[in-house]
């Protein structure tokens, strides 16, 4: 493998409190690595998981990688300064390989332990940037991560149905156009749902609220 990416900076007084998961959206890991290491592109991530499951560290976790872009989570912008970015080699139109998911589980466990990040701090790129980003997309297995304590997942789809807007704000979603916010929420928790919000959306969101 080539060396680390030159695309990083100071964390601006912040420490990692989030882990943002992405797919590369490119043909293969080699192409993605080249772009994530290109000074002209001005993008990067801390980790790139190749098709064979190889975990490639591109930026030291104590540095600010340039992976998140515009967006916010829990009312705070500049997600790059307070997050670790993991890119998974996938063009966006296929399931994620078992070897990649195995590696991701192992990597997440170690990162979360290093930086004391709970499962609620593992988010999708689409979560923090509704309407602008859709990765890691509808084929990503969030439920699998949740079973290992590495992400959140609805605990009770038959509980109380609370107002959706309030729930999404408390979970962390940015205050953007309601349709975009609903689409981002569904992309992660109900990826094949369509149409106006439903009682099921409200029940699922309520089950995800922090204690």
Q: How far is CA 46 from CA 9, 36, 104, 207, in A?
A: 12, 10, 13, 31
Active site residue 120: no
Question: Alpha carbon of 143 to those of 86, 148, 192: distances in Å?
Answer: 18, 9, 15
> From the candidates 51, 61, 87, 166, which is the catalytic residue?
87
Sheet holding 122-124, edge to edge: 55-57, 47-49, 83-88, 18-23, 122-124
Buried/exposed code over 183-205 (b: 16+ C-beta within 10 A; e: otherwise): bbbbbbbbeebeeebeeebbbbb
Closest C-alpha among 73, 3, 61 to residue 36 = 3
22 φ, ψ (degrees, to nearest 5): -130, 160
H or E element at residue 201: helix 199-207
Catalytic residues: 87
């Amino acid at each position: 493998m080539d060396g680390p990416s030159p695309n990083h900076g100071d964390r601006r007084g912040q420490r990692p409190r989030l882990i943002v998961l992405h797919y590369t959206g490119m043909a293969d890991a080699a192409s993605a690595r080249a772009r994530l290491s290109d000074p002209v592109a001005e993008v990067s991530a801390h980790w790139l998981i190749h098709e064979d499951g190889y975990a490639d560290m591109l930026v030291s976790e104590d540095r600010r990688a340039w992976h998140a872009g515009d967006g916010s989570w829990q009312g705070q912008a500049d997600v790059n300064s307070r997050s670790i970015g993991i890119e998974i080699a996938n063009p966006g139109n296929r399931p994620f390989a078992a070897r990649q998911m195995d590696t991701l589980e192992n990597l997440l466990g170690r990162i979360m332990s290093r930086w004391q990040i709970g499962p609620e701090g593992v988010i999708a790129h689409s979560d923090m940037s509704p309407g602008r980003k859709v990765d890691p997309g509808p084929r990503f297995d969030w439920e699998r991560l949740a079973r290992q304590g590495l992400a959140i997942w609805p605990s009770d789809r038959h509980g109380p149905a609370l107002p959706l807007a309030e729930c999404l704000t408390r979970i962390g979603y940015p205050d953007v156009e309601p349709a975009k916010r609903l689409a981002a929420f569904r992309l992660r928790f109900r990826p094949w749902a369509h149409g106006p919000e439903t009682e099921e959306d409200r029940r699922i969101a309520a089950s995800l609220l922090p204690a």
